[in-house]
Structure 1
Amino acid sequence: MHPTPVEVDVALVGGGGAASLVLAALDRHDVTGLRVAVVDPVRKRGQDRTWAFWGAPGGDLDPLLSASWSEVDVVTTAGRRVLPLTPLRYAMLRSAPVYDRAAAAERRLGAVRIGAPAGVLADDGHRVAVHDPEGRPLVRAGWVLDSRPRPPARPGRTSWLQHFRGWWLAADRPTFDPGRAVLMDFRTPQPARGVSFGYVLPVDDRYALVEYTEFGPAVLTDAGYDAALRGYAGLLGLDLSGLRVREVENGVIPMTDGPFVPRPSPRVVRLGTAGGATRPSTGFTFSAMLRQAEQVARALAAGRPPVPAPAYPGRHRWMDAVALRALDRGHVSGVEFFERLFDRNPPERVLRFLDGVTSPAEDLAVMRSSPLLPMTGAVLGDAAGRLRARVRRGPAPVPGAGSRAAGRAGP
C-alpha cells in the first residue's frame, strides 16, 4: 500500500486478459517515457482460461499459440460440414504465455504494480484519482483503462449468458485428430430455451479440450455440466475410462443488448467486456480485446488519447439485438440459425461477421441467409421495444447543458 497516491500517465485497473494485451502492445510499439501503473490485488499467472479466435497467420501472437487449424467442423444431426478457413485460421491461445508476456512487458516499461483492489474512480476532467474500496487514494493518472467486469448500464431487452465447462482430456494412445477442430457440434440435447453445442480443440493426438456450451438465460449446476460433458464425450465415441481429466475450465459471458458504456467519464476508458468487447449474439470477445489493445498502444505512442474505436459497428449491435430477441422469443431455433449461417455463406464471411469486421454488403448477405419471416417479426418487436424505451427515458439532453464535454487532451 502506497502512503500517498502514485502519479502516473496511465493506470490499468484490472490485470487480466485485456490489461495483459495492452501491456504487451505498449511494449511492442516501444512506448517510452510513459509512466504506467497496474492496479490489481492478484497478479495473473498460469492457465486459468483459454481463448480461441481466427485471423491470418503470421501475427504477433503466433509464438504463443498452443495450436491452430486451417479447417474446422460444424456438425448437426444432418451431418458434418468441413469449413476450409484459408486464408484465415482458427487458433487456440492459453492464458499462461499471455500473462508471462505481459509481466515481461511490465518490467521493461517500468510499470508500478499496486497490489490492492480499486474502488471509486474520481475523474475531474484533468486527472483521475483511483481509490481503494475504503476511499484511500492509490493512484492519480492522466488516463485510466478500466477492465473490471461490470453489468451493462441498464438491463437489456434480452439478457442471455454464454456458459460452459470444458475438460482437458489426456489419452495414452492416439485419440484426437490434431489437424481439425470441431467449432460447433449441435448434436447435443437442445435446452427448452436456448441453444447448446460441444466443441473439440485438439493440441495433439493425445490431448484436447472438449467443451460443452449453452447460450441461454440461466447457468447449470455442476452436476448438469458434468452430465452434459459425459453425454457429449459419448457422442464423440470417447471412452472416458481410458482418459484423464487434467484441467477443468468454466466460464460465464454476458450476451445482452443492454448498453456497456466504453467511456463513462472524460479520462476513464473501459476495455474488455465492460468496454463492449463481447459480441452480444455469440459471446466472442478476444479479437475485439486485441483490437482495443492495439488501438490504445498506437494512440499512446503517437501522443493521442488512448480511446479505441467502438468494438462493433452500430449496425452489428442492432443485428445482435434482433438475433437475441428472435432466439429468446422462440421465433427461430438456435441450431437452425447457425446452420443456415454456415450453410449459406462462405466460411471467411461468417468468421469475419462473428468478429464484427464485415462490410455493410457482407452484412446484408448474412441477413439474407437468416430465416427471414421470423427475423422480420423480431425486427419489428425490437423497433417497438426501442421506441418504448426512448419514450420512458424522455428526450436526450442537449450536449453541454449541465454536463462536462469529454476532453481530447493527451496524458
Structure 2
Amino acid sequence: MPEADVAVTGTGTGVDVAVVGAGAAGLSLAHRLAGDLPGLRTPSVVLVDAPPGPLRPPPRTWCHWTAGPGRFDAAVRAEWQRLRVRPRSGAPVEGDIAPLRYRMIRSDDFERVVLADLARSPNVRRLEATVEAVEDVPGGAHVHLRDSAGRMRLLRARWVLDSRPLGSLPAARTVLLQHFHGWFVRTARPAFDPAAVELMDFRTPQPAHGLSFGYVLPTGPCEALVEYTEFSARTLAPDRYEAAVRHYADEVLRLGDRQVLARETGVIPMTDAPVARQTGASVFRIGAAGGATRPATGYTFAGLQRQTRAVADALRRGRPPVPPAAHRARSRAMDAVLLRALDSGRADGPELFGRLFTRVPMARLLRFLDGSTRLHEDLGIGLRTPVGPMLRSALELPRLPRRPFDLPVPPHAPAPPADPPLPPTETA
C-alpha cells in the first residue's frame, strides 16, 4: 500500500475519509472501505499510522467469540470451543460454547493480513506521520501532521475517524482498571489442555481491593499464553507483575521447566463513563476511544467490529458516519451496577463470577456479555448474581457524583530477553 502523496499539502482538495490510528479499529475500518462494492460509493481514504516509536503500541493479543466464519479469519492464531473457570477451591466449571468459538488474534498477524489486502486497494493510502491535532472546519476537518522528516503537513478530509487512545476518561461514577501481564511460554513436558481456555482461574492470591485471576490460552500441549489479571483501582509496580505471573506459572499451574518466549502487558479501563463518539461536525471516535470496550469485561474487538461495519456502510451510502454505540443501553446499565458492586466491595468477585458460570450455560453467558441476549435472559442472569449487593448498588448509583479520571501510563514490566531454549527432551 503506497504512502499517501495527495491531499497532504497546504492547498490540496482533500480526501473523503481520514482514518487516524492503525490499531484494530483503524485497520478494520480501512479494510471495510477498501475496493469497490456494486451500487455503493468508493470513498478515497488515507490511513494515518504513527511512525515506529512510543506512539505505536507493542504487539498484543485480542480475543473474541463468534459463530461461523469472520472477516479476519486469516489472522486467527487459535480457537477453542471449550472454556473453563476455576473457583478458589473445588472442582472447575467447564462448558462447551457451541456454536460459538473463542478466537485469539495477535496484533502483528492482524496487521500483516490487513495491510496485505490494503496494498491491493486503489482507494486506500497509508501515511506514516504523527498527528499533532485534528481540527473541525466548515465542510470537513484538518488533520495537522508531522512527517518523518519533522515537517508539518496538512491533511484535508471530509470526515475524520479517530481511533487514538484517550488520555483521560470523561467523568465517571466508577472506574476499575483491568491490568494484566502475560508470558508466552514453552514447557519441557506437556502441561496444557489444548482443547480448553482457562478463562478465569481464581486460585491466584486475591488483592485487598478488587479481584485477580489467571488466564491461559493454550496453543498446544507445551505452549500457551499465561497471564495474571487484576480488576482494581490502581496498577502495580512493574516488578510485581513478573512476580505474579511467576507465582501463577510455578506455584498454581506447576509448569515445571519452561522457557518464556515473549511478554505482554496492558491496562484496560472498565468504567461507566459515557464516552463521546462525536467530537465535531466531521470528527468521530471509534474503537476503545469511541466506547467499544464492554465495561464489565474489557473485551473490545467484537464491539469495534460492529462500529466499523456501521461506519463503513454509512460512508458507502453517502451518509454521515456517526459510530453507533457498541453496546446497548441495557447492557451498559447492568455493567454500571456490577462495577459499583465490585468497587464497593459489596460483591465478592471470584464468588460472583464463579456463581454465574456455574448456573448459566456458558454460550448464553457469552451472548449476554456480547449484548445479544433478550430481556428475559438478561433478567434470569441478573437473578443468578448476589441480588442484595447488586440491588443496593443499583439504588446507590443515581446519587453518586461523576469524577474525572486520568488514565495511568501502561505499566512496563521488566522484559528481559527471552529465556534460553529448553534442553532437548530425553526419550527412552
Asked if 1:67 corresponds to 2:73, the answer is: no
Q: Sort the Cα spacing of 1:229 and 1:303 in 2 relative to 1 into closer, same or farther, 3 A.
A: same
Counterpart residue number, 2:132: 119
Q: Sort the Cα spacing of 1:19 and 1:361 in 2 relative to 1 into closer, same or farther, 3 A.
A: same
Q: Sort the Cα spacing of 1:291 and 1:56 in 2 relative to 1 into closer, same or farther, 3 A.
A: same
- Partners of 2:198 and 2:60 lie apart in 1 by 19
Q: Select between 271-280 and 361-370 the one with higher mean Cα deviation.
A: 361-370
- Partners of 2:340 and 2:372 lie apart in 1 by 22
- Partners of 2:367 and 2:225 lie apart in 1 by 24
Preserved CA contact (<8 Å) 2:210 2:231: yes
| TM-score, scaled relative to structure 2 | 0.84
Between Structure 1 and Structure 2, how many residues are aligned?
A: 386
Counterpart residue number, 2:51: 42
Counterpart residue number, 1:193: 209
Per the TM alignment, residue 337 of structure 1 is displaced from its structure 2 partner at its CA by: 1.7
- Partners of 1:127 and 1:285 lie apart in 2 by 28
In structure 2, which of residues 78, 91, 98 is the aligned counterpart of residue 79 of structure 1? Answer: 91
In structure 1, which of residues 333, 342, 347 is the aligned counterpart of residue 362 of structure 2? Answer: 347
Counterpart residue number, 2:424: none
Asked if 1:295 corresponds to 2:330, the answer is: no
In structure 2, which of residues 4, 7, 10 is the aligned counterpart of residue 4 of structure 1? Answer: 10
Preserved CA contact (<8 Å) 2:35 2:121: no
Q: Select between 46-55 and 29-38 the one with higher mean Cα deviation.
A: 29-38
Residue by residue over 1:150-181, the C-alpha shift from the partner in whole angstroms, topping out at 9 and shown as x without a partner, is 14553211111100001000134433211111
Preserved CA contact (<8 Å) 2:173 2:402: no
Show structure 2 runs of 5+ residues with no match: 404-428
Counterpart residue number, 2:278: 263
Counterpart residue number, 1:236: 253
Preserved CA contact (<8 Å) 2:30 2:45: no
Q: Summarize the alignment of residues 118-197 of structure 1 with structure 2, pairs less than 5 Å apart.
A: 118-132=131-145, 136-151=152-167, 154-197=170-213
Preserved CA contact (<8 Å) 1:167 1:246: yes
Per the TM alignment, residue 305 of structure 1 is displaced from its structure 2 partner at its CA by: 2.5
Asked if 1:218 corresponds to 2:234, the answer is: yes
Q: Sort the Cα spacing of 1:257 and 1:314 in 2 relative to 1 into closer, same or farther, 3 A.
A: same
Q: Sort the Cα spacing of 1:339 and 1:28 in 2 relative to 1 into closer, same or farther, 3 A.
A: farther
SS of the aligned residue for 2:172 comes to: coil
- Partners of 2:262 and 2:67 lie apart in 1 by 29
SS of the aligned residue for 1:200 comes to: strand
Counterpart residue number, 1:281: 296
- Partners of 1:202 and 1:322 lie apart in 2 by 33
- Partners of 1:68 and 1:236 lie apart in 2 by 21
Preserved CA contact (<8 Å) 1:152 1:259: no
In structure 2, which of residues 88, 110, 127 is the aligned counterpart of residue 98 of structure 1? Answer: 110
- Partners of 1:281 and 1:261 lie apart in 2 by 19
Per the TM alignment, residue 137 of structure 1 is displaced from its structure 2 partner at its CA by: 5.0
Q: Sort the Cα spacing of 1:15 and 1:389 in 2 relative to 1 into closer, same or farther, 3 A.
A: closer
| TM-score, scaled relative to structure 1 | 0.88
Preserved CA contact (<8 Å) 1:120 1:135: no
Per the TM alignment, residue 143 of structure 1 is displaced from its structure 2 partner at its CA by: 0.8
Where has structure 1 moved over 6 Å in runs of 4 or more?
Answer: 43-47
Q: Sort the Cα spacing of 1:361 and 1:323 in 2 relative to 1 into closer, same or farther, 3 A.
A: same
Residue by residue over 1:69-94, the C-alpha shift from the partner in whole angstroms, topping out at 9 and shown as x without a partner, is 11110001222011110111111111
Per the TM alignment, residue 102 of structure 1 is displaced from its structure 2 partner at its CA by: 2.2
In structure 2, which of residues 338, 350, 364 is the aligned counterpart of residue 335 of structure 1? Answer: 350
Identity of matched residues, %: 44
Per the TM alignment, residue 361 of structure 1 is displaced from its structure 2 partner at its CA by: 2.1
Per the TM alignment, residue 24 of structure 1 is displaced from its structure 2 partner at its CA by: 2.1
More helix by share: 1
Per the TM alignment, residue 138 of structure 1 is displaced from its structure 2 partner at its CA by: 2.0
Give the aligned CA root-mean-square deviation in angstroms: 2.4
Residue by residue over 1:211-232, the C-alpha shift from the partner in whole angstroms, topping out at 9 and shown as x without a partner, is 0100110111222111111111
Q: Summarize the alignment of residues 13-52 of structure 1 with structure 2, pairs less than 5 Å apart.
A: 13-27=20-34, 30=37, 33-42=42-51, 48-52=59-63
Counterpart residue number, 2:338: 323
Residue by residue over 1:252-299, the C-alpha shift from the partner in whole angstroms, topping out at 9 and shown as x without a partner, is 011111221011122111111110011112111111011112222222
Q: Sort the Cα spacing of 1:128 and 1:375 in 2 relative to 1 into closer, same or farther, 3 A.
A: same
For 2:131, give the aligned amino acid.
Answer: A
Residue by residue over 1:299-351, the C-alpha shift from the partner in whole angstroms, topping out at 9 and shown as x without a partner, is 22333332232111112111111111111111111112211221221212211
- Partners of 2:116 and 2:41 lie apart in 1 by 15
- Partners of 2:338 and 2:167 lie apart in 1 by 20
- Partners of 2:397 and 2:57 lie apart in 1 by 43
SS of the aligned residue for 1:181 comes to: strand
In structure 2, which of residues 366, 374, 393 is the aligned counterpart of residue 378 of structure 1? Answer: 393
Residue by residue over 1:23-68, the C-alpha shift from the partner in whole angstroms, topping out at 9 and shown as x without a partner, is 2222377476421111222269997011111111322232321111
